[in-house]
Structure 1
């Protein structure tokens, strides 16, 4: 069965088996009924990994399918490597876009796997305490996927119960805000019922702090600024998290799950992974057990006009290049630059970096500086940091400014991030608490861009600020040509995949597509 050509319904029906077969012996295979639902703690402990595993599918693909092409590309930070057209980067978005379709289908697979757990809990043998913990974990992961769906498609189908028939799968568009209403409810439950930390092989699972930070983020995106400030301030004031002394430590493989990290994707190169492997791979090839990230080969430099970096094509495809606009956004000698992108003369795995390898003269270095090539090709095991404390500081600054007009507190948070990057303040002077509201917002937007570059936040930030009236994308953002000419309000949302429209008659396409 080819999941690329089937509807949400079939993904919901078959996805469970693919993700759990490494941990559970489900009998009879292919049936979802009361005889096969899980009952014991051990059953749920194993099954709870399946929704996590689905997140890996966003990141593993060596050509960038999913997160890199679908989320990272459409922004003013990244430029594709070729001299022709890249539809994602240049805003030529069509319903047959495979990258967007992958994000859509994998998100619903993750929703399904969470719903399986939620549907099974009432009939289990678990204690009330254990039921609450597994419910909270499933709701956190379901929220993760629904946030992707809501922010990228606006009114995606809302499926909060396990679907077991094709007829029940004919779910049309949700009402505006309906999906994020569920996300808020799920995360509120999760923050009250998840543990504050994990140990051993459970490190990386969702925590109460991750749920609270995520809830604050959802409120911020919905312009519920006072609520966002409350949740984000609580994460900051909890004392659970602290900024790493060095900015670059956040992207070092040897410092994963550190004090600044609130939630991150757990990767390996085919050996043991607590989240299980990705769903792709055939017996006999190197992808069995694979839970690595494709960032290493997607982001590393390749060739431009015949000038090739070491490892080009074999260890680097050169698909992501740093726009000149982003390079110019950094203040002169900002200490974060070397940990964000390579420039002329920087050490590039033992060779001086040459700007001739890139169409813009620079390629990303974030997550790559201590990368070591392993026998398994095109894979990295450096965890992707989804939410970290610096991001929470900057979201809290935005919420305090736009919700409470509290310039001083907003700038205090911005300055926490700047002082970590430059403790002396000689390169990055502090932002003044007496700044105007407009100046303060400019400072926040600047800091988010340089602090979080290539972490998947930029385009969503631009859309959020545009919708809040803080910026006007056509006037204030330089995507470069031809992207500037192509961008329109249509691109605030992505097109629904054509295959889903063909199979679900009640699903309507987003305007403009």
Structure 2
């Protein structure tokens, strides 16, 4: 089964303290439900489906869930150096403050992120409480011990995921609410005075111990031991526990097919979802009635504009800096110093006017990594099966957001039927990979480099690059659209060089997938990179401004409405002070 129970089970368990949001679980109760009615295995399974539902970041409807996108395009990419908010200055203007790191606690993207992912936590807690009650009864309708462990492991994995997404945005000290808290009053008394990362680790370790490499119930959208090992390794990596993370990544890599046997394009193909390269993904589909609240609504703003096949809404535009990062030297290796790839910058048709603009032709002698044209839409280059990307005609305001568009969130026109909402084709059924196999390879490489196993680090980076070299050339009139070239590194001479290569490879491979800002922060280079980027980008895109990146900008403020509602229990973090 492609998704989890097709994600449309009519359910909303309004019991104990918390309520499920509408949207994913479309119906609401018509009468009071008693505890006894909920003490069934069916109720537990339905609660678990509800817990999975929030992986797509949506509680209700379609519009308005942009900051909670599982792709984390806003906090993870626009806040970094990979992308601009796009669209126009006035549209969703609070997002401009995220791009420029001028965020205050009343920014309307913050409560959406906070509320939606805490809703995910609540649903996990609900599942765990119900499971414990069912298993404690003497009734016949209960799970075997093995089944109960699988359910508990999935719920705890999901809870860890929701908390991890929250701490990357708001910092490690946020309220930790678990299944033991059974009233609103008690939940409101939970302070944010301790690092909750050990709790996240604990949940993921339980998942690693109790999940198997087979999908529970054979359902492709469920989490398994691969996902649990990868996620626990990722949390360890963020904590710089490299020795603990590396064996987890190695186990996944050893058991999975070779990365070079899995095409790069499979990661963004609606027809090849949940394949061996997908470790943990948000499952999306278009409902049978054609509605899209179970679709990829978090990325819906990244549709195009004007006369494009999808002409809403013009957000999430790759930066000029990102496009130039794909340039390679004569040996097919990337330039690791921004000063090198920014020299004689490629900027598409920015700054041209009149006949020069009208008659612009793409430079097919540009020497680049082929992943450029599978990540970024460039004027004069084919865009999927939509035709040649015409530039401004598909962009809402090029002077503001730049000349490029994002490719990874879009599906082929040939796949619109059944995979996009009629009349709103920017909402699709394309899954979003939260962790994919190449990410695991590069996290393993990083751990190896940090522990001075430079040979292992080199081999894993080169595996990613070998796969990139297999990408077919995009062509214009039968001729490649660029001088595509990507080669492997001959060696890593030092730990420092290895880390620079790994940092660049993560950018090239995972661009526009929500990792970049969090990577810059954990590497300790956010200030240097973002300040330099904004200064460079002001030459081409009016959305950019020279700025000073402060320590406080490494996270985002806790929403002011949550501070106010807590009655003094919650303390604002450094970003909101």
TM-score by shorter chain over 0.5: yes
Structure 1 residues 39 and 247: alpha-carbon distance in aligned structure 2, compared to 1, 3 A threshold: same
* Structure 1 residue aligned with 2:176: 158
Q: Which runs of 5+ in 2 are unaligned?
A: 1-13, 135-141, 328-366, 472-482, 539-543
Q: What is the alpha-carbon root mean square deviation over aligned residues?
A: 3.0
Tell whether 2:549 aligns with 1:507: no
Aligned with 1:453 (options 498, 506, 511): 511
Q: Is the 8 A contact 2:192 2:571 kept in 1?
A: no
Deviates more, 1:106-115 or 1:424-433: 424-433
Aligned with 1:137 (options 142, 151, 154): 154
Q: Aligned-pair distance for 1:434?
A: 3.8
Aligned with 2:556 (options 485, 488, 494): 494
1 CA distance for matches of 2:24 and 2:298? 26
Structure 1 residues 293 and 512: alpha-carbon distance in aligned structure 2, compared to 1, 3 A threshold: closer
Tell whether 2:454 aligns with 1:407: yes
Tell whether 2:390 aligns with 1:354: yes
Aligned with 2:296 (options 282, 293, 308): 293
Tell whether 2:40 aligns with 1:39: yes
Which secondary structure state, in structure 2, belongs to the residue aligned with residue 316 of structure 1? coil
Q: Aligned-pair distance for 1:23?
A: 8.6
Structure 1 residues 320 and 98: alpha-carbon distance in aligned structure 2, compared to 1, 3 A threshold: same
* Structure 1 residue aligned with 2:48: 48
Question: After the TM superposition, which parts of structure 1 deviate over 6 Å for at least 4 consecutive aligned residues?
Answer: 23-27
Q: Aligned-pair distance for 1:336?
A: 1.2
2 CA distance for matches of 1:61 and 1:488? 34
Q: TM-score, normalised by structure 1?
A: 0.84
1 CA distance for matches of 2:534 and 2:447? 25
Superposition map of 1:399-478 within 5 A: 399-402=447-450, 404-423=451-470, 427-466=485-524, 472-473=528-529, 477-478=533-534
* Structure 1 residue aligned with 2:476: none
Q: Is the 8 A contact 1:496 1:509 kept in 2?
A: yes
Q: Is the 8 A contact 2:58 2:293 kept in 1?
A: no
Q: Aligned-pair distance for 1:174?
A: 3.5
2 CA distance for matches of 1:18 and 1:61? 11
Tell whether 2:317 aligns with 1:317: no
Which secondary structure state, in structure 2, belongs to the residue aligned with residue 79 of structure 1? strand
* Structure 1 residue aligned with 2:376: 341
Q: TM-score, normalised by structure 2?
A: 0.76
| Larger-Rg structure | 2
Aligned with 1:233 (options 250, 258, 261): 250
Deviates more, 1:182-191 or 1:64-73: 64-73
1 CA distance for matches of 2:179 and 2:214? 29
How many pairs were matched up?
A: 475
1 CA distance for matches of 2:523 and 2:491? 22
Q: Is the 8 A contact 1:335 1:422 kept in 2?
A: yes
Q: Which runs of 5+ in 1 are unaligned?
A: 1-9, 273-285, 303-307
1 CA distance for matches of 2:488 and 2:386? 36
Superposition map of 1:241-390 within 5 A: 242-271=259-288, 287=291, 290-294=293-297, 297-302=300-305, 308-311=306-309, 315-331=311-327, 332-348=367-383, 350-356=386-392, 357=395, 358=398, 359-371=401-413, 372=416, 374-375=421-422, 377=424, 378-390=426-438
Deviates more, 1:369-378 or 1:445-454: 369-378
1 CA distance for matches of 2:520 and 2:43? 42
* Structure 1 residue aligned with 2:188: 170
